[in-house]
Chain A
Amino acid sequence: MSLLTRGRLIALAGLVLLAGVYVRALAFTPIERLQGAAQKIYYLHLPAAIWTETAMIVVGVAGIFYLFLHDPRLDRFAAASAEVGTVFATIVLTTGPLWGKPIWGTWWTWDARLTSMLLLFFLYVGYLLLRGAVADPALRARYAAVLGICGMALVPFIHLSVYFFPTLHPQPIILKPSAPSLPSSMLVTGLYSVGVFGLLYVGFVMQRYALYLMREAQESAEGARG
């Protein structure tokens, strides 16, 4: 089975399981007392946010290894991860305002947490723009690796600055020093969704990776023909 097909199957499985997340979220988890049904979007929002940040770290780590090993597979992997990260960041930035309108009364506010996700999105866009601007594959891989590593180093700073700003955004309820403060059914659904998004991430990255391979094969075939 080709990489592309396997990637498609994994992504498809992820999408089916995501439907499962929502069956569970709508039918088997309690409705949040203050936010009502709007809180249900959290099962999309939070996992997408976690994987957006993870994908950026993956881009940086792949970049570090690329600079040492010069293996084009690492570069393809970083590029694919950045593309999927961009899509996940878009999901976060779409679901956030959808939740914000009924709960906060505004689509967008310059809250630190929103701003930091927006920054991450721009970081991804810049990374993809840089890749698009360099024609030579080896040079592109090297430049992208440098930017990816810097991007990874920026993530903790974006994250830290969040804590110093007065924020409207709900404080972390799962990833915090004390125990998670939500009903276990919500926690389980949330964690389940994080897993499903992980599956989607893997599936999408595999497909993009396969597409990069195909494009390179086509380019080298065209090069051989002259």
Chain B
Amino acid sequence: MRELAAQAWIVARKDLVLEFRTRTALFSAVVFTALVLVVFNFGRDPTAVATIDLAPSILWVTFTFAAMLTLNRAFQLELENQALEGLLVAPLSRASLYWGKLIANLVFVAVVEAVGLPLFVLFFNVPVAHVLVPLVGVIALATVGFVAVGTLFSALLIRIRFAELMLPVLLLPFLIPPLAAAVQVTAHLLAERPLSEVAGWLRLLAAYDLTFVSLATVLFRFTVDE
């Protein structure tokens, strides 16, 4: 277990160092998130629909698209100069390779979300300060689910044509249950309703994360091996 964590951290650190040195992908993802939020502003009639009613959907659609866009990057990176072959022959277990990629993706998406959330608050004037801690908790729960499945699928599609198009097609049906749960919980939080009303949704989110992180850990080696 300790070895798995150590190896996973090596893989994750490699990806993160690469990312924070170039920053191209990260900046693009952040700008993309800001742009989606701007697009939403033009996609609604502020006189007809109150922002607070629309806010959870805006937040989650933005995060879903941002996460999906950034997930393609995880393994595309490894295609250059046969870096993937290098990783596969390295003395790493497949599970730790998956966990490394998962952690790197989680950090990446978390940074994007950390910029996206304040922008969302700013653009749509939604007060979140009083529910910040549970809101961040829900975002973390849902993001783990998104990224767990997304990392597996981006590995699955690495050698496939039109991977950038296939990933959303395969991934979106999988993102709907956590997305639905996250939107419901967020709506409750913003309406200042007690969390106990959405206990079922929270359990669903937790079960989803657990199921797909473990499933992906097991299935990962079937996606990258030649």
Contacts and interface: CB of A to CB of B under 8 A. Distances in A.
A136 to B, nearest CB: 9
Nearest to A67: B222
Contacts of A157: 177, 204, 207-208, 211
B212 A130 contact: no
B212 A147 contact: no
A143 interface: yes
A158 interface: yes
Chain B interface: which size bin? Answer: 20 to 34
Interface string A42-73: 00000000000000000000000001000000
Given A126-B170, A154-B174, A161-B204, A146 B212 contact: no
A126 B161 CA distance: 14
A130 B55 CA distance: 34
Interface residues of A, number: 29
B173 A146 contact: no
Contacts of B149: 150
Looking at chain A's contact residues, the main secondary structure is helix
A122 B156 contact: no
B27 to A, nearest CB: 31
Contact of B222 (A146, A163, A164): A146
A122 B172 contact: yes
Interface string B190-226: 0000000000110010011001100110010011000
B93 interface: no
A119 B153 CA distance: 17
A126 B177 contact: no
B5 interface: no
B184 A164 contact: yes
Contacts of A1: none
A157 B170 CA distance: 16
A158 B219 contact: no
Looking at chain B's contact residues, the main secondary structure is helix
Given A130-B166, A133-B162, A119 B176 contact: yes
B68 interface: no
A143 B181 contact: no
B212 A150 contact: yes
A114 interface: no
Contact of A119 (B161, B170, B173, B208): B173
A146 B223 contact: yes
A119 B174 CA distance: 8
A31 interface: no
A142 interface: yes
Nearest to B170: A126
B156 to A, nearest CB: 6
B160 A134 contact: yes
Interface string A97-132: 000000000000000000100011011011001100
Between A123, A125, A133, the greatest number of chain B beta carbons within 10 A of the residue's beta carbon is seen for A133
Nearest to A139: B159
B180 interface: yes
Nearest to A144: B156
Contacts of B189: none
A129 B208 CA distance: 25
Contact of A161 (B153, B170, B180): B180
Q: Which 10 A-B residue pairs are closest in the complex by CB-CB distance?
A: A157-B177, A126-B170, A122-B173, A123-B173, A119-B173, A146-B219, A161-B177, A133-B160, A164-B200, A126-B169
12 contacts: A67-B219, A115-B176, A119-B176, A122-B173, A126-B170, A139-B159, A143-B223, A147-B156, A154-B174, A157-B207, A158-B176, A161-B204
Interface of A: 67, 115, 119-120, 122-123, 125-126, 129-130, 133-134, 139, 142-143, 145-147, 149-150, 153-154, 157-158, 160-161, 163-165
